[in-house]
């Protein structure tokens, strides 16, 4: 009887060891305000642990390669030092994915390039369409005196920082309703964009939403999120 109990104990230990080896360790690095939001909650950590996934917070102030080991890294941090740490980690552990790699998110740091992918889609035409807003980069106040550039915009015009670098000014926006001179108050460089009018302006190519919705890359998904905001302003619904 004692021998049977010993075998059962050994079997349980072997199973525990196997389960431990099969667990996935996901390291995440987020700004403090993101960690305090709905992104990482104790309920999510507990649910993930029950499914064999351990969510481990990464300290960006310490060397990344000295933390872990990780099967995968999820992050939303910026800066040259952090970028260098990610590249070093990727070089040492090429089989461990980094979501997203610095190269993959480079286009998302510029409000022009983040939407350019939509116009580059080569797909068939359908009834469901969405369009990119008219956009103009304002590098300085002299740009506003160029009638050809400003003429591409129609009021109301939204002015947002051109570079999306995760800083506190990232989401600051000015809405100019009827005066070009008011745009001079926005710190350059910034992006001036026009909410879409009811008619299709020249140069805006319709793009089927059904195909773009299936694209699961962060670039396309982020672009779609921005487009839904513009659609909401125009009281449209995707």
Whether residues 229 and 139 fall in one domain: yes
pTM, whole model, 2 decimals? 0.55
* 146 has a pLDDT exceeding 70: no
Last residue of a domain, one of 56, 74, 104: 104
Whether residues 118 and 224 fall in one domain: yes
Whether residues 33 and 75 fall in one domain: yes
Whether residues 121 and 201 fall in one domain: yes
- The residue ranking higher by pLDDT, 46 or 181, is 46
Number of domains in the chain: 2
Cα gap 195→86, rounded to integer Å = 37
Burial per residue of 7-42, b for 16 or more beta-carbon CB atoms within 10 angstroms, e otherwise = eeeeeeeeeeeeeeeeeeeebbbbeeeeeeeeebee
Give me the torsion for CA of 95, 106, 207, 159, rounded to 10°: 150
pLDDT at 120 (0 to 100): 74
Question: Mean pLDDT across the stretch 77-85?
Answer: 89
Whether residues 82 and 123 fall in one domain: no
Whether residues 98 and 128 fall in one domain: no
DSSP designation for 234: T
Q: Is residue 117 part of a domain?
A: yes
Question: Mean pLDDT across the stretch 132-138?
Answer: 73
For 25-39, 75-89, 149-163, 222-236, which range has the lowest pLDDT when averaged over its residues?
A: 222-236
With contact defined as beta carbons under 8 Å apart, do 91 and 49 qualify? no
Share of residues in the chain with pLDDT > 70 (%): 49
Span 19-76, pLDDT tens digits = 555 788 999 998 877 776 656 788 888 888 988 899 999 998 899 988 878 999 999 8
* 147 has a pLDDT exceeding 80: no
What range defines the domain where residue 59 resides? 2-104
pLDDT tier, 185 (very low <50, low <70, confident <90, very high otherwise): low
For 59-63, 72-76, 130-134, 226-230, which range has the lowest pLDDT when averaged over its residues?
A: 226-230
Q: Burial, 226: exposed, middle or buried (Cβ in 10 Å; 0-12, 13-18, 19+)? A: middle
Q: Which two tokens stand for residue 115?
A: 């939407």
With contact defined as beta carbons under 8 Å apart, do 229 and 126 qualify? no
Whether residues 54 and 170 fall in one domain: no
Whether residues 94 and 193 fall in one domain: no
Whether residues 131 and 38 fall in one domain: no
Whether residues 66 and 130 fall in one domain: no
Whether residues 172 and 211 fall in one domain: yes
């Amino acid at each position: 009887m004692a021998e049977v109990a010993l075998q059962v104990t050994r079997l349980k230990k072997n199973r525990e060891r196997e389960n431990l080896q099969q667990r996935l360790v996901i390291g995440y690095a987020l700004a403090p305000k993101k960690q305090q939001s709905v992104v990482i909650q104790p309920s999510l950590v507990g649910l993930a642990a029950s499914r064999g996934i351990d969510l481990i917070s990464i300290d960006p102030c310490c060397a990344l390669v000295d933390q872990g080991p990780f099967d995968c890294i999820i992050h939303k941090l910026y800066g040259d030092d952090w970028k260098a740490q990610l590249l070093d980690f990727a070089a040492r552990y090429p089989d461990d994915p980094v979501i997203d790699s610095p190269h993959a998110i480079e286009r998302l740091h510029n409000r022009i390039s983040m939407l350019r992918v939509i116009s580059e889609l080569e797909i068939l035409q359908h009834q469901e369409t969405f369009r990119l807003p008219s956009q103009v980069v304002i590098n300085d106040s002299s740009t506003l005196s160029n009638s050809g550039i400003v003429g591409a915009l129609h009021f109301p015009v939204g002015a947002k920082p051109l570079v999306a670098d995760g800083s506190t000014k990232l989401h600051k926006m000015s809405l100019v309703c009827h005066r070009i001179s008011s745009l001079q108050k926005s710190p350059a460089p910034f992006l001036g964009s026009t909410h879409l009018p009811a008619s299709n302006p020249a140069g805006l190519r319709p793009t089927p939403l059904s195909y773009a919705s299936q694209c699961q890359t962060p670039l396309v998904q982020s672009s779609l999120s921005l487009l839904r905001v513009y659609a909401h302003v125009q009281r449209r619904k995707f």
